[in-house]
Structures are given as structure tokens and as C-alpha cells.
Amino acid sequence: MWVCGSRYWARARGLLRLCLLPASGRHEPKASSCSSSTQSSRVRALIYAHHGDPPKVVELKNVDLAAVGRSDVHVKMLAAPVNPSDINMIQGNYGLLPKLPAVGGNEGVGQVIAVGSSVTRMKPGDWVIPANAGLGTWQTEAVFSEESLIEIPSDIPLQSAATLGVNPCTAYRMLMDFEQLRPGDSVIQNASNSGVGQAVIQIAAALGLRTINVVRDRPDIQRLSDRLKNLGAEHVVTEEELRKPEMKNFWKNMPQPQLALNCVGGKSSTELLRHLAPRGTMVTYGGMAKQPVTASVSLLIFKDIKLRGFWLSQWKKDHSPDHFKELILTLCDLIHQGRLMAPACSEVPLQDYQHALEASVKPFVSSKQILIM
Ligand SMILES: NC(=O)c1ccc[n+]([C@@H]2O[C@H](COP(=O)([O-])OP(=O)(O)OC[C@H]3O[C@@H](n4cnc5c(N)ncnc54)[C@H](OP(=O)(O)O)[C@@H]3O)[C@@H](O)[C@H]2O)c1
């Protein structure tokens, strides 16, 4: 029996107990310490044993569950998205890398099936999401430790629940923690059709903030623009339009943004900086263009702009689990009020994971791939 390396990585943090069943026709190292399962062995998981191109290195395998310990929770996973961080983790380019082999997926929602005798916070039927990155959500069932999970209301839409723990949290924190914004103030962002971008648009609108949303041009730009405006975007402009000298007139009717949110880097972030108000802040949280952020000397000297970064994993390390739960409940309130919807999604059955992995890195798809278990 082959023991999944993530088991040890996760166990070190008291997270995940998982071992793999042998895959036929393949040499597998012997497990020395894998406890035999007392439960169903029909569990399937997306596993990678090497870093590389996700469609090539990720495989669907049968896994066996360990018994549920006193402080463990047996979870049936319901849905889990494919996020850029999942892709980067598999490629080996992320700030946090599990030992291999590992189960893919950092985010998702599951339903509690059974709990150990000392578990107090959760009961069968509850919905749970990962407390931190690295849990391995791309599997049909798993046994996790209680502290590795957070319970959420089960009366929100499945797609919202599956995508709640990363992007809306990032959007909310970036809007709250860097500039003291008041209703009527404006925020500019790029990659506005990303999962984070759609959450920024909606949360900003709920806070009374005005947004300028930059996207890459595409043949169906009007459809995308209409969709983002329906979410609450005040303006949607293309990268090319943002570079035009006429943009100067734009600020006659709108306050210059005090906050810019940069998901892209390269030229796109240089343009955001040009439009930032004096002493404003640009927060970089993604690097989709894989290009560095460049700020002109004159912007730094004459406008005294601030360049900052945000990483949700670091925010969680710096704050208590109760703070994170509070954040989740704030976002669930917005969902209940109809002010925060899931990003545009494509639901993909787990067995079609290759399609989801490929679609998640294609440009101009504008749809979050969600694996349905
Ligand atoms: N720091 C944090 O804590 C944190 C938290 C969450 C997410 N993130 C990061 O935020 C980014 C977005 O995540 P997500 O889940 O929202 O992504 P997503 O929903 O998959 O969307 C990806 C976005 O990136 C754009 N994009 C892709 N390649 C690009 C390029 N070469 N130049 C410009 N834009 C490009 C896409 O635009 P098109 O439609 O034009 O292709 C789309 O808007 C990722 O880098 C992710 O790792 C960071």
C-alpha cells in the first residue's frame, strides 16, 4: 500500500489522515504505518506525485480512509474550485508546498458525515470549509482534524460555499485594511473578471464604494462588461482604454482612487499606478502576467504612493481562527442579503478533472471551474 506523502505533511499539522490504495500495474512503495481502513474504500482523490504541468501530473486514484479519531471529522466533499493557487502549487511555484504525493485543492465545501467523540464544534450534516490552505480538497471524502475545518451556514448556494474561503475573504480584507475608504470613494482594480475581482466589485458596492474595473479586451467584451455592471461595477474599461490620454477626463466626474488592487503585474499595474490618487496605495495580491511591478521614480517622489502586498495565508497566521470565522460570517451575511454571489462558474464532474485543469489556465474563459464530487 502506498502512503500518500501529504498524509505526513498534513499529520504534522494535525490535519489529514489519508492513505492510498495500490494502483494496478505500478510499483508502489510499501506503507509502513498506514492504518487499515474501517470505512468505504470507494473514495477517489486527485493526486500528484511530482510537480509539473497539472493535466500531466494529476491523477484520479482510489484512496482509503483512516478511522475517525477522537478529534477527527469525516467529511464528504461536495464541491471544490480550481484556483490559480492550486495550479501554482502543483507546478511547484507557490509560497506553501505540501510533501508529495499530495491531494490537490486548497478550497472547497464538504458535509460532515461523522465526528469523533471529542469533537464539539461540528455535527453530522454541517457544512465545513478548510481553515487553511493545503488541506487537499479534491477528493470525494476525507478524515480531517476538527481544527483544520470551519463550519459555515448550509443555507447558502453550493457554489458560494465552495468559493467562500479564499477570494471573497481576500477581496474584503484588501478593501478594509489598507486605506480608510468612505462611501463615495473609488477603487481601481485589474483582472476585474477574476474570482477576486468579482468579489471586490460586489463587496465594494455593498460598502458604497465606486469601482473602476479593468479587464483585457476580448470579442465579447460588451457581454463581460454588462455582467460585471450587473454585479455592481460602476465602470468597466479595457487595458487599452486605460492607457489612452482621454482617461484624464474620466477623473473629472469621479474621485481618483485611493486604492488600487493589482492581480496582474507588468504594464497593467504600471497603468493602475498612473491613475492612483496622491498618497494612495496599490495592493498586489496576484501576478497573473508573471511580470514585475514597476513604479516610476516620479510617482514615488511626487505622489508618494505606497506599494503593498497581501496574502490571505499570512493574514490568517497573523489573526486568530475566531477572526477568520468572523470574516466568514460577515461574508455569509452579504450572501444572505443577495449582495455577494459566487463568481461565474462551470461545474465539472470530478472524473472530468482534466477538462477543468485545462480550462482553468486558458485566457478569456471568465468562468471558475468547480469540481463536483
Ligand atoms: N494573495 C492572496 O491572498 C490571494 C488570494 C486569492 C487569489 N489570489 C491570486 O489572485 C489571482 C486571481 O485569482 P482568482 O481565483 O480570482 O483567479 P481566476 O478567477 O482564475 O481569474 C484569473 C484572472 O486572471 C486574468 N489573467 C490571466 N492571465 C492573465 C494575464 N497574462 N494578464 C492579465 N490577466 C490575466 C484572467 O483574465 P482573462 O479573462 O482576461 O483571461 C482572470 O481575470 C491569482 O493570481 C491568485 O493566486 C491571491
Q: What is the pLDDT of residues 183-226, one digit of tens each?
A: 999 999 999 999 999 999 999 999 999 999 999 999 999 999 99
Active site residue: 8, 48, 94, 353, which one?
94
Q: What is the pLDDT of residues 267-290, one digit of tens each?
A: 999 999 999 999 999 999 999 999
pTM value is 0.91
Q: What is the pLDDT of residue 155?
A: 98
Q: What is the pLDDT of residue 1?
A: 29
- Nearest one of 106, 180, 99 to 136, comparing CA atoms: 106
Asked if 8 is an active-site residue, the reply is no
From the CA of 232, how far away is ligand 1's center (Å)? 19
pLDDT band at 41 (very low <50, low <70, confident <90, very high): low
What is the pLDDT averaged over residues 13-34?
Answer: 32
From the CA of 289, how far away is ligand 1's center (Å)? 9
Q: What is the pLDDT of residues 83-141, one digit of tens each?
A: 999 999 999 999 999 999 999 999 999 999 999 999 999 999 999 999 999 999 999 99
Go through the domains of the chain in sequence order and give each one's CATH number. Answer: 5-163+343-372 (3.90.180.10), 167-313 (3.40.50.720)
Q: What is the pLDDT of residue 17?
A: 40
- Nearest one of 155, 137, 111, 131 to 332, comparing CA atoms: 155
Q: What is the pLDDT of residue 119?
A: 98
Ligand 1 mutation pick, 176, 189, 216, max ligand atoms within 8 A of CB: 216
CA distances from 63 to 3, 60, 265 (A): 9, 9, 40
pLDDT band at 293 (very low <50, low <70, confident <90, very high): very high
From the CA of 197, how far away is ligand 1's center (Å)? 8
pLDDT band at 66 (very low <50, low <70, confident <90, very high): confident
Residue 28 has pLDDT above 50, yes or no: no
Mean pLDDT over each residue of the chain, to the nearest integer? 90
Residue 35 has pLDDT above 90, yes or no: no
CA atoms of 180 and 305, how far apart (whole Å): 15
Q: What is the pLDDT of residue 126?
A: 98
- Which protein residues touch ligand 1 with a CB less than 6 Å away? 83-85, 166-167, 170, 191, 193-196, 216, 263-264, 268, 285-286, 288-289, 310-312, 363-364, 366, 368
- Kindly give the number of the ligand 1 atom that is closest to the alpha carbon of 285: 1
Asked if 257 and 212 touch (Cβ cutoff 8 Å), the reply is yes
Q: What is the pLDDT of residues 294-329, one digit of tens each?
A: 999 999 999 999 999 999 999 999 999 999 999 999
Q: What is the pLDDT of residue 38?
A: 42
From the CA of 288, how far away is ligand 1's center (Å)? 6
Q: What is the pLDDT of residues 133-188, one digit of tens each?
A: 999 999 999 999 999 999 999 999 999 999 999 999 999 999 999 999 999 999 99
